[in-house]
Structure 1
Amino acid sequence: MQHIYTADPAPLVHNGRVYLYTGHDEDGSTSFVMKDWRVWSSADMVNWTDHGSPMSLNTFSWAGANAWAGQAVERGGKFYWYVPVSVRATGQFAIGVAVSDSPTGPFRDALGHPLVENSEIDPTVFIDDDGQAYLYYGNPNLWYVRLNADMISYSGSPTQIPLTTAGFGTRTGDATRPTLYEEGPWFYKRNGLYYMVFAAKCCSEFIGYSTSPGPTGPWTYRGTIMPSEGSSFTNHAGVIDFNGGSYFFYHNGALPGGGGFTRSVAVEKFSYNADGSIPTFNMTTAGAPQVGTLDPYVRQEAETIAWGSGIETEPSSEGGMNVSWIENGDYVKVKGVAFGAGAGSFTTRVASNTSGGRVELHLDSPTGPTVGTCTVSGTGGWQTWSTVSCPVTGATGTHDLYLSFAGGSGYLFNMNWWQFTAGQPAFSSTAVAQHSGYCLDDPNQSTADGTQYRQYTCGAGAEQRFDFRPVPGVADTYSLVNRSSGKCLDIAGISTADGAAVHQWTCHGGTNQQFTLRQVAANDYQLAAVHSGKCVDVSGISTAVGALVHQWTCDSASALATKKNQVWRLTGKS
């Protein structure tokens, strides 16, 4: 996540995805200025969807400031998010709990008051195999409570864990804090062993851990997981197993402008040692490898991002988030996109309150091979959405995809989602009538709407060449865009009558501008208008130069053996 500063990662595995709950450092902060929390999710550990902010200080009517490190857990189909905030009335820290029916929120205050209030921070929550839930928290001490099954109350009183040097390591130089434990506990169980991962020895912090045979101790210090590094004087860990791998989340100050108060979340993949211990490893710039690939043939949110440059996100009027504040030269990288045998078209949902711009589709780098370009026009508002499509060629195999944005000065457009269509590549071709040998032609290179097409002696001009652009989701169906005029082949007046003119008109995507290719022979096709089911036909079976073209009831297969004025040779179609 590069478009905002994030901190204090708390991953949750649910239904085949990793949901990541983070804090949010405000831009330019010189102290811990944190007003809300954010949610992200991924199925492959590299492409992360921004779900925005489903919870803020305003969620808790009693909170005053400091939206600090928390953790979420699922139980009984509900999601409980435990967070520390300052109580407005006292200025002291307390632990609140919010609840939602969805891992992405929105979350609501479950109690209307703090769950635990003893001036300590950084809750971590775990539900044991026997159903007992534990909430650990604390800085400078370490406490726990046994949560009840409702997850919003607890039994007994908070219990303080003895911080012994045997249990949490030895700190030197600070008699008031003899152990390495500092803050940010992360509590979990794996193969019968309980782990307490924590931020150690501020400042700068490293990540250490302890283990125990039981959920409340006794604890044994096991050493360092991640040394102090990364341009932030704090660190905060979250550890999960997902899809056969183990992952370690943390934060640093690696983004431009980053530091101790403008942090960024990262993740590494690791393997436990045979005895269950965790090896020591360092931060990397590569991060975790991708799990599988991304499917471009299903709708993908524009805010699903492996790396973004220049962009922002915002809530969309159509639900979820959209990519926003796009300027010339910005881009979004999506990693490991599996195009397979080939993509034929690209469709995206966009909005612009200016004159728009272009979405350029590049492979493997922002300036890599261009496989498609979609033009975005003004829509009359930043949340006034329109769907645009463009042909794609050369997108095969698995590649990183760069959605590169181009246009004039200022903000260009917003993007909500995108999707490729497979198995129907775009192509460019002339259309040669097989009864006469003449080409479908835009008379005199006209650019006027309503110009009726004709057959004419074939030449090399753009007025006889058409870009066949696949219609997303409709097999063997295309819009035909004349290379000379830029306008679409169109049935006049959306008529369904025999004899209606085949002319050109400004492209609008209607079904009277969509034609299904019905194969007659190797490169020979009928062009059947989708709205009428009738075929593009040279009137009167004429062999004269200049004979006009109209639509007519499509000839049967048997008739086509000898009658060819509805048969068009498309040499550009492979």
Structure 2
Amino acid sequence: MATFPRPGRRVSGARPAPRFRALLAVLGLALLVLVAPGPARADNPIVQHVYTADPAPLVYNGRVYLYTGHDEDNSTYFTMKDWRVWSSADMVNWTDHGSPLSLSTFSWASANAWAGQVVQRNNKFYWYVPVTARATGRMSIGVAVADSPTGPFRDALGRPLADTNEIDPTVFIDDDGQAYLYWGNPNLWYVKLNPDMISYAGSPAKIPLTTAGFGTRTGDANRPTLYEEGPWVYKRNGLYYLVFAAKCCSEFIAYSTAPGPLGPWTYRGTVMPTQGGSFTNHPGVIDFQGGSYFFYHNGALPGGGGYTRSVAVEKFSYRSDNTIPTITMTTAGAPQIGTLDPFVRQEAETIAYESGIETESTSTGGRDVGFIDNGDWIKVRGAAFGAGARTFTAAVASAAGGGKIEVRLDSTTGQLAGTCTVGGTGGWQNWTTTSCPVTGASGTHDVYLRFTGGSGYLFNVDWWQFTA
């Protein structure tokens, strides 16, 4: 299914009423071009074609897998029905893996697909999420399991793992193999998970929220500490970190440290001040390829706000005493690690930035870039062509008249390296390939695929590849 279902949309090929967000994105891009000539480097937020929230990164097998919530368009509350997965090897070009987990995965859940986290153990991947239980109407923690980081995920228990009517689970596996599950708003709960990761002995217990451990909140007698929600627990250089959304509302990100996974915790201060157009925030922290990265969300996309959020990332360095510096939101995001190889098959849904497109499932089980209109485009950053490319090939499908793919370098109006013609293929999932000669593509460039043609949807793109 497409990200934004439109029943009957493929019958005539006509475009329905344009989405307000997409219109604003085009206007915003135009303004950006006017005030900032040259190649655009603003790749935060890292996903632009859907709203994302509550980032939970996982490093696995040389990639970062990013698990997020999904805010529905035009939400006026935390209206969330599924979770999404993205991955990257270079921190700038992110592959959309779709939604392998939704409320319907849990037969006992009724609403609120809110912030969760995935960990890998026992050659499986466990996704801990808070949802509303249909039978009780209370927020409960469920757990889903998969054999792959991109799913599909299935309900591991057929019932809640824990029920304290609170939210935001995070999970941490210590060096001795003991796994801990934390969650909570307004409290901070924990349990020690059994090795199977889907059960625990005893009962959930509370971590004491002291002002020494979690800072002092003023103006709220019921909540004396800064701890609000969204805990993220990890260990680095023998020190335990608990990063959390602080105060409300608007929230900022703070953190505490401890000599052990259960404390005693010492409040250390602010990680990210209140900013960014969303009154909530949510942390995720990893080390990857020799760097440290802080994930968060804001309301930076057109139409964005407290209920239509977007995930972003910043690279940072710990201070010499292992404290975390203050991190500010940027539009640049993290720098690219290495380069992208344009001479191997690249999925079209691997994107650094885009305008107008959406993604959908393919008939073969993957994903494609679709719902393409005249003037839409996608960008991949840092493609290393070396001595040069000779041809460009893409897998395409169209139930309409097709169009053209312009291969441009470094901007949507940059050097035109090639133009491929896409004809009708008789169906939106009837795939064929189109190729065209390429000139001038040598060295390292950002690649823009700009789509042109008539009115209505033009074609879908599954993958692309250059030849040397």
On whether the aligned pair clears a TM of 0.5, the verdict is: yes
Query: Given the alignment, which residue of 383, 403, 416 partners 2:429?
Result: 383
Question: Distance in 2 between the 1:212 and 1:75 partners?
Answer: 24
Distance apart, 1:245 and its partner CA: 0.1
Is 2:314 the partner of 1:268? Answer: yes
Question: Distance in 2 between the 1:346 and 1:21 partners?
Answer: 32
Is 2:160 the partner of 1:99? Answer: no
Is 2:320 the partner of 1:294? Answer: no
Q: Which residue in 1 is equivalent to 2:53?
A: 7
Q: 1:105-124 counterparts in 2 under 5 A?
A: 105-124=151-170
Question: Distance in 2 between the 1:373 and 1:80 partners?
Answer: 44
Query: Given the alignment, which residue of 200, 206, 215 partners 1:154?
Result: 200
Is 2:211 the partner of 1:165? Answer: yes
Question: Distance in 1 between the 2:380 and 2:241 partners?
Answer: 34
Question: Distance in 1 between the 2:392 and 2:248 partners?
Answer: 50
Q: Which residue in 2 is equivalent to 1:366?
A: 412
Q: What SS does structure 2 have at the residue aligned with 1:99?
A: strand
Distance apart, 1:318 and its partner CA: 2.1
Question: Distance in 2 between the 1:107 and 1:407 partners?
Answer: 39
Q: Cα deviations across residues 322-379 of structure 1 (Å, max 9, x unaligned)?
A: 0010001000000000011100111100000111000000000001000011100000
Question: Distance in 2 between the 1:155 and 1:348 partners?
Answer: 53
Question: Distance in 2 between the 1:394 and 1:185 partners?
Answer: 49
Q: Which residue in 2 is equivalent to 1:504?
A: none
Gaps of 5+ in 1: 423-574
Question: Distance in 1 between the 2:445 and 2:201 partners?
Answer: 53
Q: 1:402-413 counterparts in 2 under 5 A?
A: 402-413=448-459
Question: Distance in 2 between the 1:141 and 1:295 partners?
Answer: 47
Is 2:178 the partner of 1:132? Answer: yes
Q: Which residue in 2 is equivalent to 1:237?
A: 283
Question: Distance in 2 between the 1:297 and 1:126 partners?
Answer: 39
* Paired letter, 2:152: P
Gaps of 5+ in 2: 1-46
Distance apart, 1:281 and its partner CA: 1.7
Q: Cα deviations across residues 128-153 of structure 1 (Å, max 9, x unaligned)?
A: 00000000000000010000000000
Query: Given the alignment, which residue of 174, 191, 213 partners 1:145?
Result: 191
Is 2:227 the partner of 1:205? Answer: no
Question: Distance in 2 between the 1:275 and 1:47 partners?
Answer: 32
* Paired letter, 2:75: S
Q: What SS does structure 2 have at the residue aligned with 1:167?
A: helix
Question: Distance in 1 between the 2:339 and 2:381 partners?
Answer: 8
Q: Which residue in 2 is equivalent to 1:258?
A: 304
Q: Which residue in 2 is equivalent to 1:325?
A: 371
* Paired letter, 2:374: N
Q: 1:485-500 counterparts in 2 under 5 A?
A: none
Q: Which residue in 1 is equivalent to 2:75?
A: 29
Distance apart, 1:8 and its partner CA: 0.1
Question: Distance in 2 between the 1:211 and 1:25 partners?
Answer: 31
* Paired letter, 2:183: Y
Q: Which residue in 2 is equivalent to 1:421?
A: 467
Query: Given the alignment, which residue of 54, 61, 67 partners 2:100?
Result: 54
* Paired letter, 1:170: T
Question: Distance in 2 between the 1:186 and 1:3 partners?
Answer: 26
Is 2:104 the partner of 1:44? Answer: no
Distance apart, 1:319 and its partner CA: 2.1
* Paired letter, 1:319: G
* Paired letter, 1:2: Q
Query: Given the alignment, which residue of 112, 115, 118 partners 1:69?
Result: 115
Is 2:226 the partner of 1:177? Answer: no
* Paired letter, 2:151: G
Q: What SS does structure 2 have at the residue aligned with 1:58?
A: helix
Q: Which residue in 2 is equivalent to 1:310?
A: 356
How many aligned residue pairs are there? 422
Distance apart, 1:87 and its partner CA: 0.3
Q: What SS does structure 2 have at the residue aligned with 1:155?
A: coil
Distance apart, 1:77 and its partner CA: 1.0
Distance apart, 1:89 and its partner CA: 1.2
Q: What SS does structure 2 have at the residue aligned with 1:175?
A: coil
Question: Distance in 2 between the 1:55 and 1:76 partners?
Answer: 20
Q: Cα deviations across residues 267-323 of structure 1 (Å, max 9, x unaligned)?
A: 000000001000012100000000000000110000000001000000011221100
Q: What SS does structure 1 have at the residue aligned with 2:390?
A: strand
* Paired letter, 1:404: R
Q: What SS does structure 1 have at the residue aligned with 2:213?
A: helix
Distance apart, 1:266 and its partner CA: 0.1
Q: 1:331-480 counterparts in 2 under 5 A?
A: 331-422=377-468
Query: Given the alignment, which residue of 207, 214, 227 partners 2:260?
Result: 214
Q: Cα deviations across residues 507-537 of structure 1 (Å, max 9, x unaligned)?
A: xxxxxxxxxxxxxxxxxxxxxxxxxxxxxxx
Alpha carbon RMSD of aligned pairs, Å? 0.5
Q: What SS does structure 2 have at the residue aligned with 1:217?
A: coil
Is 2:269 the partner of 1:223? Answer: yes
Q: 1:185-204 counterparts in 2 under 5 A?
A: 185-204=231-250
Question: Distance in 2 between the 1:319 and 1:360 partners?
Answer: 27
* Paired letter, 1:294: L
Question: Distance in 2 between the 1:17 and 1:88 partners?
Answer: 36
Structure ranking higher on relative contact order (CA contacts 8 Å, 6+ apart): 2
Q: Which residue in 2 is equivalent to 1:84?
A: 130
Question: Distance in 1 between the 2:252 and 2:277 partners?
Answer: 12
Question: Distance in 2 between the 1:31 and 1:313 partners?
Answer: 24
Distance apart, 1:76 and its partner CA: 1.7
Q: What SS does structure 2 have at the residue aligned with 1:208?
A: strand
* Paired letter, 1:265: V
Q: Which residue in 2 is equivalent to 1:284?
A: 330
Question: Distance in 2 between the 1:142 and 1:133 partners?
Answer: 16
Question: Distance in 1 between the 2:401 and 2:370 partners?
Answer: 15
Question: Distance in 2 between the 1:350 and 1:232 partners?
Answer: 38
Q: What SS does structure 1 have at the residue aligned with 2:427?
A: coil
Question: Distance in 2 between the 1:324 and 1:36 partners?
Answer: 20
Q: Which residue in 2 is equivalent to 1:541?
A: none
Distance apart, 1:40 and its partner CA: 0.1
Question: Distance in 2 between the 1:383 and 1:200 partners?
Answer: 47
* Paired letter, 2:460: N
Q: What SS does structure 2 have at the residue aligned with 1:157?
A: coil
* Paired letter, 1:21: Y
Moved over 2 A (4+): none
TM-score w.r.t. length of structure 1: 0.73
Question: Distance in 2 between the 1:320 and 1:121 partners?
Answer: 32
Q: Which residue in 1 is equivalent to 2:19?
A: none
* Paired letter, 2:124: K
